[in-house]
Structure formats: structure tokens, C-alpha cells
Chain A
């Protein structure tokens, strides 16, 4: 009688432990699954300002001349890359559907060759999916020789479905060093697409 009860109890403990261990493994896997899920979620909804880093075809539709939208450009260097990056103009005003071209200047201020990449972000996030870039320096990495100066274009348009409450769109470009291709920081990072071009 007592033996059966202890037996049952042991079996119960075993069952509980196995179930908990399964839940544990599941949650650990879930944490990693969240990484791609998060990316997909951000892409689909356009929140977080994440934009496609591939060229999109410009749509030649009628320009919506009833609206004028201000597009601002903010460039940020730093993160250990001795480059200066500037937009030829801080802001442009354009109509949805209109194609615009803006040049950005990159200067390597150090006396060594280095690799960098400008990572884009769009604000407000509701405008993210309505910025169409036909050509952008942010699609690929740049290499600058010591003291080299480079001008690169951004060709883009805002599509006509841009939500009506958006009057200003801000494009932010942050310069990051491509590490492993110059002096490494603590994190010895190589990008996914970061193999030598």
C-alpha cells in the first residue's frame, strides 16, 4: 500500500520533471526563434524604421501635386569610424510620386584605408514602407582610401500612399565600421554580407 503510493509519487515527480524540461527547451528555442520573427514582424509592419536594403523600382505614376512633404536627412558617424558623412542638402520638399536625387559626401579623415557602411532608418515608422529607393549607397559597403573623398547618390521617391498625416519624413544614416577589415574593437564583428566584394 505504502509502496504503491511512493511508487506513484516517484512516477509523478518524473513526469513533472520531464514536462518542465521540455518547456525549458521550448522556451530556450523560442528566445532564438524570436530573432527572425522580430525581423519578419518589423519588415511586414514597417515599424522600427527598418527598410529594405535592396533597390526598388521607381513607380512612374502621376505626381500628387496637391501635397508637399518635407524629407530631412540626418547623418551620424561615430562608432569608431574616422569618416565624415554629409548630405549635400539637409532637407528637400517634394510631392509624393516625384523622384529626387540627393548626393552624400563621404570623407575618410584618417591616414589608413577603411571600410564602412551606412545603415538607414526612417522616421516616422508609418512612412517606412512608402520610401522607395532606386539607388542608395546604403545598399553596399564602401571602401575609402586614406583621405579619400567620395560622392554617392541617393535616388528615391515617396509613393502616393504615404499616410496623409505624415508631413515630414526623416531619413537617418548611421555610419558603422565594417570590422575585421580594419582595427577590431572588442567585438570582432564580420557582417553577414561582409565578405570582400
Chain B
């Protein structure tokens, strides 16, 4: 076979690699907005993702506060039930697809090339495209709130026929926005897989990669496997609504339960998409601040893979109440409980890493520790929900709300915050403001637990989810939840303050900002990381195990 001539850009790159330190190969980037619109640099795109996700986090957070405001006391005070439903739905959609997922993708963009010693992502232009799809998708989604009939009001799970036969006219726009967001995630996932499999520093084997890279590799495979299923489901909805098909319409021979099967076949892997990268972040932070090597690296990798594989076999536990045959209930119950084993391995490894470590409590470590404790609480309530006979009591109550918020807020979100605090010195060259970070941490922990812990009790007592009004006996629990949610929500402004201060100045951070207890490659480049790094592949030294 004749050797292919590499494209011009590659030639330039390799020539710079030869005469290292010579930065002439990079054209001066366009100024102003155009620079951000056209950038193909993984660090800039990572920053864009993170800022976008933070913006969505605040928008989704405002929606959540509207919900909590209405639930502050029984009766209808502030919003009409129709609008309340739009708020719960939009809160869920924005937080899942607009805040948590892009935040992890942003961290992946920033950190994966740095952690594997690659000069950039494998497909930089595709990277730019997948980011800029997001503002389009969520601009479209948010605009449905202004359309006649309002935005989506059927819950973030958009069960048919609630979302097809009975959905508002804007549902078609909701479907389109979900398609675009899905394409963005898929392209991001392809890019990450291509980067990790092909761009590692010479000598770095898969089993040498930092766990954040590993968890993201597995997450990308999950994304590629299930986002097309989501695309298929919303396409079927689109056809049911507009083209007269009957996928989910019982009157025409379709089946609404089929919707739930398809949705949760996507939906359960989706919840692991939102937690696996969090495992990776925490697995980087805990060893750094315990000043010990991560306990059980290989078992962490295998546990992550096991969780990912099992995630395809447990979707039925979301639908115990649809009238599933006993065999099905038993299968999904046991398969779900099986997931507790690899998850338990992970929690054990984190604790074992800290055991007899020399621990210090910098802001990233505070958030990582809170993650381990609170994620475990969410895991335990998940085990309770997995018990099929008991689930009939918990189904669609606030107990479920408490469960998934414990794994997503003090779980996934705290891991993202931990990652942001951990890598801010690398991004900006400054340490985050210590006092403010501590205030942010403690107010967040208190707020989040005050919000979500009482929901366990209101749920067990029978309070249904997605309702704007409730019986009097739930008033005290809801009052506590609402007070907590406002503490939590407003304390996130401190996080914005920390980021702004950190970007502007503060205590200078050296290259190894958190000491020399970690050999991850990102700490070998200066802080702040220059725009272009690792144009000459670094020499990777396998740490002695």
C-alpha cells in the first residue's frame, strides 16, 4: 500500500514537534466572539462546555426553586398547576441533558488530552460542532416555554401517551431539541473514544490511564449504545404525533408500555452516563489528598465496566408497577441488586485509599469526601427501591425523588464541583479562594441534605411526585425541603464568585498544584496550562506499583 500523504495541518504540527518551543505553526486566532465560535482547541472548547453547563445549571436551578417555592406550603400560592408541571419537566430535562452531561463533557475536553499526553482531541472540528449544537438545542427547548400551550409538561421521562396524544403543541420542538442534544453527545462520545484509543502518549497502555480517562471511555461506549435508542424513541413519538403512526397508541394497536421499555432501555444506562465520570474524578482526588496511591486500580476499572454492562439489564426496575410478570420482576430485582456489588467495590476502594493516609481537607477533597458519603446514601435508597414488592409502595413518591437527587446532586454534581476545584489551578494558574470555597462547600452540604433528606420521609409517608399541592401532613417535611433548596441554590452564587476571582487572580499555583503525590500527566504542564500542550508527546513513565 502506498503511504498516504498526511494533511497539511498534521505536517505543520509534526514540524513544530521537531523544533519544540517554536509556536509559529498556530495562526493567531480571530478576535472576539469569532474566536470562540471557530475554536478547535480542546481547552477552549472545554471552557465553553463548562460555562454553558454552569449557565444551564442556574436556569434549571431557578426552575427547581419555582417548584420548591410552590411546595413551601400546601395549597396553590404562586404558580398554576399547568406551569408547575412545565417547571418540573424543564428542570429535569435541563439538568440532565444541559447541565450534568455537558459539564462532564467539558471536563473530558479539558482533561483527557492532558491526562493522556495528547496535543488535542482526535477530531477538533467535530468537537467545535458538537459544542455549538448545544446552545441551539437548549435555546429551542427553552423557547417552548413561550409557545402557545406552553413547554413540555409531561415529566422529563415524557411517557407516551402523555407526551404524544395529550402533549402540548410544542412537543415537536421538544423532540427536535432532544435530537440535536443527542447528536451533540454522540459526536462528543465518538471524539473521546477516538482520542483515548489513538492519541495516548507512547508507552501508555490502557491500564496505565488515569481513572477519569477510563470512566469516560466506558461512558462514551454507553453513550454510543443508548443515545441512538433515545433518538429512535423520540422519532417514534414524532411519527405518532405528526404522521399518523401508532407506535405507542393503544387505539391503533400500539402499546404505551413499549414506550417505557424503550425509554428506560436508554434511561438506565443514561443515569450511569451521569455518574461514571464522577467516579473517575473522585478516584483522582482522593489519592492526591490522602497522599497514597489509589487502592485497587484494576478492580476500579473492572467495576466500572461491570456497572456499565449491568446497566443494560436493569431497565425494568423503573417499571415494576406496569404489571410485569413475576419472573420479570424477579429478574430485574436481582439484576439491580447485583449492581451494588461493583459499586460497593468502588466505595470500598475509596475508603481503603484513605485508610492510614495523610489526609488534608482542601476544597476538592471536601467535595470528594461528601460525594462518597452522600452517593452511598443514594445507593442505599436505590437498593430499597430495587426490592420489587416494596417498590409498589415507593413508586412515584418523593422517596424516588430523594433517591435520584442524592445520586445526582450530592453525587454527580458534587463530583463536578470537586473536579472544578481540583483543576481550577491548572486552568487559571491560581488557587480558588479558600474561605469562599469552604463557605460554598458547607452551605451546599447543609442545603442539599436539608432539601433531599426529608423527601425520604415524605415519600415513605406517601407523598406523590410531580404535584403542585399536597395533603397537610406533609407540610413540615416540605417546608424543610424548600428552606434547604433556597440555601443550596443561592450558595451556588458563591461558586460563581470563586470562579471569577480565581480567573482574575489569587494565590499563584505551581505546575504540581496539589503536591507531588500524583503522577497524572496534567500536573507536568505549567499552571495555567498553555493553549497548546504536548505537541511533542511526553515520555510516559509507568509508576512502580
Contact = CB atoms under 8 A, between A and B. Distances in A.
A35 interface: yes
Contacts of A13: 122-123, 194, 198-199
Contacts of A119: 250-251
* B3, B14, B18 pick with most chain A CB within 10 angstroms: B14
Contacts of A23: 224-225
A27 interface: yes
B229 A27 contact: yes
A186 B167 contact: yes
Contacts of A21: 190
Contact of B240 (A4, A187, A192): A187
Interface in B243-259: 244, 246-247, 249-253, 255, 257-258
A126 interface: yes
B207 interface: no
A45 to B, nearest CB: 8
Nearest to A38: B258
B278 interface: no
A38 B253 CA distance: 13
Contacts of B255: 38-39, 42, 48, 50
A58 B255 CA distance: 28
A82 interface: no
A186 B241 contact: yes
A32 B232 contact: yes
* Chain A interface SS verdict (over half): helix
Interface residues of A, number: 54
A66 interface: no
Contacts of B227: 24
B64 interface: no
B351 interface: no
Contacts of A191: 246, 251-253
Interface in B229-277: 229, 231-233, 236, 240-242, 244, 246-247, 249-253, 255, 257-258, 261-262, 265
Given A48-B255, A49-B323, A187-B165, A12 B197 contact: yes
A9 B244 contact: no
A187 B249 contact: yes
Given A9-B198, A17-B123, A20-B224, A192 B252 contact: yes
B122 A3 contact: no
A125 B323 contact: yes
Interface residues of B, number: 57
Interface stretch (A91-99, A101-109, A142-150, A170-178): A170-178
A38 B122 CA distance: 39
* A3, A13, A25, A191 pick with most chain B CB within 10 angstroms: A13
Contacts of B455: none
B262 A34 contact: yes
B331 interface: no
Given A38-B258, A48-B257, A6 B123 contact: no
A28 B229 CA distance: 6
Contacts of B252: 189-192, 194
B225 A123 contact: no
A18 to B, nearest CB: 10
Contacts of B33: none
Given A9-B198, A28-B228, A189 B250 contact: no
A176 to B, nearest CB: 3
Given A2-B14, A79-B251, A189 B325 contact: no
Contacts of A7: 3-4, 6
Interface in A114-139: 117, 119, 123, 125-126
Contacts of B261: 34, 38
A185 interface: yes
B229 A186 contact: no
18 contacts: A2-B14, A6-B10, A7-B6, A16-B193, A16-B198, A21-B190, A24-B228, A27-B229, A28-B228, A30-B228, A31-B232, A31-B262, A42-B255, A179-B251, A187-B165, A187-B249, A188-B244, A189-B252
